[in-house]
Structure 1
Amino acid sequence: MVITGEGTAPGTAVLIAAAPAGKGRLIEATSVLAALAAVPPPVLTGTDAATVVELADPLDPQTVLTRIQAAAATPGPLCLYLTGQLHLDHKQHLLHLALARTTPATLRYTALPWHWLAGELKLRRPGAITTVVLDLVADADSWQQITAQGLALGHGVRVYGRVLAPPPRRTLVSPDYLKACAAIWRSGARPPLAQLHEQAAAQCGPGDALLLAVDAPASPLPGMAPREAPAPHTPAPAQPPVEPTATDPHPAILEAAREGRHGEAASIAASWESQALRTYGTGSAQAVHWLEVRADLARLAGEPARSCELWAAAAQTRLARQQATDDPDVEGAVDRAHHQWEQVRDPERARALAPALVDLRRHVPGRQRGALAALQRRLEQLHTQPPAPTH
């Protein structure tokens, strides 16, 4: 593809091909990887140099999320190539990308929530170019929702590709759209992305599919914390008021954090949190927002213990506001607190954080089956470890 205005910054291409094993499989997702692997990496990103990350039939949604987070944190262009199948969680009506171990009964625990992906892409630095190329198949319920509401990934993300309607029973579809893209590139052609999309869609022939072509310009950062998006029927959390100058603080905060000025970023966020507390009160949606911003800034600063503490506080505040234990924002806060706790290397500090986290996990088990048991196992191991050495 030809992407202009990106300078010499190296790009990152992430290739994800995922589908359930066994009779639940609707698409031969991994069959496209060989074709994409034959394309030079710089062609996949439209840059002079590129890194390629490939995930073939991944098992664990957290592993996929970690890879996406790492790729989204890179400063250069990011191109995500995604093939697989979409299913709908009937409890919260949220879309999920099925992974290798996904079954209808385990969807919420073994599949990647679509809003996780959207949430991480929203965190890219202002002006960073993000492109997602899709070749997906939907089950009956997700197809109904997608055709009614679309398949959003947020402002500033360019999305091209197709979503196929549910195939007949016991029929496996092929990711022909992405295969066509790869064939065009291997022929030596380098058409602009919109033209590539038209050519690939035409080569796929007729079929019941939703074609996606969103060449979105970069937009201001709408939020900082990597929270899970609310369910479609739930209003988005209110944002804090802007100062009389109409200046949005989020881009400046993120830029400071990305450039290593973590103290400055934390100070700006803390001042906005103080304003939200004065204006709206403790426990308000605005105050919780800034608490979560500070939690993510601690993560970016390499302070997992502090990040865990702040994410746990955000979860506790949301629960105190009578948000449900399976609310995506509550689950997201607990999941991130748990993830950051796993990164704490000082046994004494980890043990001190554990009681609050265990209590949260008992109330908010999350989508990962066995999360509480895993937390307790590590806690038992920590009791046998000496304190980390001091310098």
Structure 2
Amino acid sequence: MGITTGDQSGYALLVAAEAPMRYPYPVSDLLPQLATIPPARLVGTPHASAVQLASPHDPHTILTNLRTAAAVEGPLLVYIAGQLVVDHRQHLLHLALARTTARTVRYTALPWHWIGAELQRRPLGTTTVVADLAADTDVWQALIHQEQSLAGPFALYGAVQLQDRRHRPGPSYTNALTHILRTAPTRPSAEQLHHQAARAAAVEDAATLWLGGQAVEQAAPHPDVDVPAPRTEATSTTAAAVEKDPHLAIRDASRAGRHGEAAAIAASYEQAALRAHGAQSVEVAHWIEVRAFLALQEGAPDRACQLWLQAAVVRLTADQPEHHPEVAEAVDRAHGAWHHVSDPSQLRQLGIELLSLRTRVPGKSGARADVQRRLAHLPRAVNP
């Protein structure tokens, strides 16, 4: 279900997490099935390698493997099977892991937004996520009503099935996918493969929510972007001051049109903050926001919006409250950038994420209604 790009080698990261929940989703046998398919056919490239994580216990183990996968230059397939749960303190989606219980979601499960955070630096159009998931009624309804989103900087295919006392689904989507890859004379395209698997797995069942592939494409530069500058605290232009405060170097590179250099400096400091303070820290959130400013200066409001949304979620996860000025500013900045996005599919994807955050960080009067209204007026083909 990957994307063929010349003769580049592909990579697959396969994760199947069966959690000790009341109604466990039976995914422990899925990786052996997928292992019977050559990685190159699985990813859709001439050559590929694969790494499997069966019933992982620690979210940081998955995070480490995600970072390795994100660094691969060729097409990448990330397969995730398991049960979706919500952290009831922050109301964020997580993938339940082998030690996850209802009371320990925040500490033992994988935050879903970590996936997007690790994959967002990859070249556009090179990343596919395939999800075979189950969720209880509350989580499933939140996805249906777009109060929660699995969207990210990747093409997304798969299924989320309702699982409760009356519905005990099995991973029919993966079973169908595996059978098609084994038996088809030629490998279908990603979209064809998804639709064939969906039909074989009886998608019409009302208890199943299906995710269509959403390829992320960069919007054309917008000529009227009002660009705020990153905050800087250094006042000296000496070399020592530049070395002491990287914001000066980033500002100067950006003003000179060296956007790649500016982004590289910001990314390097973000990685340093990540190593020093962890992925869910205000220090990391700050550097994500710097990259959001730079994205606007490059004329990419879609990327800027996505980064500010990511920064807001990181700040909330780092225990900054919804009313904290920096949280509110991140959401407001995302909202402003969203109004400059012109591509309908990007508008919808980013708007759904923004609407979810606006339920927690309402902003000025009418902000949430503005998002709802704009989503409602998208073309029928994008927002049926």
TM over 0.5: yes
1:241 pairs with 197, 206, 227, which one?
227
**Deviates further, 80-89 or 211-220:** 211-220
Q: Which whole-Å CA distance do the structure 1 matches of 2:158 and 2:121 have between them?
A: 22
Matched, 1:129 2:126: yes
1:116–1:292 distance in 2 versus 1, CA, 3 Å: farther
Match of 2:171 in 1: 175
Displacement of 1:130 in angstroms is 0.4
Q: Judge conservation of contact 2:10–2:43 (CA < 8 Å) in 1.
A: yes
Q: Which whole-Å CA distance do the structure 2 matches of 1:219 and 1:269 have between them?
A: 25
1:2–1:114 distance in 2 versus 1, CA, 3 Å: closer
Match of 1:45 in 2: 43
1:201 pairs with 192, 198, 203, which one?
198
Give ranges in structure 1 of 5+ residues lacking alignment: 222-238, 244-265, 277-290, 319-325, 335-391
Give ranges in structure 2 of 5+ residues lacking alignment: 230-243, 255-261, 288-311, 321-384
Q: TM-score, normalised by structure 2?
A: 0.60
Q: Where do residues 247-262 of structure 1 align in structure 2 (5 Å cutoff)?
A: none
Q: Which whole-Å CA distance do the structure 2 matches of 1:75 and 1:269 have between them?
A: 29
Match of 1:144 in 2: 141
Q: Judge conservation of contact 1:12–1:79 (CA < 8 Å) in 2.
A: yes
Q: Which whole-Å CA distance do the structure 1 matches of 2:42 and 2:200 have between them?
A: 19
Q: Which whole-Å CA distance do the structure 1 matches of 2:282 and 2:87 have between them?
A: 28
1:133–1:10 distance in 2 versus 1, CA, 3 Å: same
Q: Which whole-Å CA distance do the structure 2 matches of 1:18 and 1:314 have between them?
A: 30
Match of 2:31 in 1: 33
Counterpart amino acid of 1:199? Q
Q: TM-score, normalised by structure 1?
A: 0.59
Q: Judge conservation of contact 1:88–1:141 (CA < 8 Å) in 2.
A: no
Q: Which whole-Å CA distance do the structure 2 matches of 1:183 and 1:42 have between them?
A: 16
Displacement of 1:138 in angstroms is 0.8
1:163 pairs with 160, 165, 176, which one?
160
Matched, 1:90 2:88: yes
Displacement of 1:293 in angstroms is 7.6
1:129–1:333 distance in 2 versus 1, CA, 3 Å: farther
Displacement of 1:91 in angstroms is 1.3
Q: Percent identity?
A: 38
Counterpart amino acid of 1:41? P
Counterpart amino acid of 1:204? A
Q: Deviations over 1:177-196 (max 9, x none)?
A: 01111101111341112111
Match of 2:358 in 1: none
Matched, 1:328 2:325: no
1:308 pairs with 276, 279, 294, which one?
276
The Cα RMSD (Å) is: 3.9
Match of 1:376 in 2: none
The residue matched to 1:214 in structure 2 has which SS? coil
Q: Judge conservation of contact 1:315–1:330 (CA < 8 Å) in 2.
A: no
The residue matched to 1:105 in structure 2 has which SS? coil
Displacement of 1:83 in angstroms is 0.7
Q: Judge conservation of contact 2:270–2:284 (CA < 8 Å) in 1.
A: no
1:293–1:104 distance in 2 versus 1, CA, 3 Å: farther
The residue matched to 2:227 in structure 1 has which SS? coil
Q: Judge conservation of contact 2:85–2:139 (CA < 8 Å) in 1.
A: yes
Q: Judge conservation of contact 1:127–1:218 (CA < 8 Å) in 2.
A: yes
Displacement of 1:172 in angstroms is 4.5
Counterpart amino acid of 2:109? A
Match of 1:11 in 2: 10
Displacement of 1:168 in angstroms is 2.2
Match of 1:58 in 2: 56
